[in-house]
């Protein structure tokens, strides 16, 4: 029972670090993660499809992000599907001044009463 909780906390902590503490790579630096064909899927004019059951991410926001598209897609999908993990991951970048209470708020801006994501927060992109 303890192992799934610990695994979730480790994954959530990693997402928190991606959202708030990693510096952007140097301009023009190639990323090993962007070399594969899946990473070459760029956002369309409708946005980046995270998953069929989730709203698309803004193409402009994703394009301005310092990380590969596939990384952004994976982190936002994790945030959408695991708020129970991210609510225990604090942010240390000052985003609480924007009303964020925990790391999930850096990614998801709105949910329905049953938990379905309705809108994204783009703080997590950068």
- pLDDT tens profile 32-53: 333 334 434 455 557 889 999 9
- Average the pLDDT over each of 15-29, 78-92, 106-120 and give the range with the smallest value: 15-29
**Percentage with pLDDT > 90 across the chain:** 31
pLDDT in tens, 57-74: 998 888 888 999 999 999
Q: Return all residues near 98 (Cβ < 8 A) that are at least 6 apart.
A: 123
d(CA 68, CA 62): 9
At residue 110, the 3 state secondary structure works out as: strand
């Amino acid at each position: 029972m303890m192992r799934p909780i610990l695994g979730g906390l480790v994954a959530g902590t990693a997402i928190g670090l991606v959202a708030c503490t990693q510096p952007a790579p140097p301009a023009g630096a190639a990323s090993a993660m962007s070399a594969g064909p899946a990473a070459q899927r760029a956002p369309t004019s409708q946005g980046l499809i995270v998953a069929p059951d989730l709203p698309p991410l803004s193409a402009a926001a994703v394009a301005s992000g310092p990380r590969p598209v596939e990384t952004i897609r994976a982190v936002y999908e994790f945030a959408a599907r695991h708020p129970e993990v991210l609510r225990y991951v604090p942010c240390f970048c000052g985003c609480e001044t924007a009303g964020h209470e925990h790391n999930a708020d850096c990614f998801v801006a709105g949910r329905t009463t049953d938990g379905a994501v309705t809108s994204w927060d783009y703080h997590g992109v950068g």
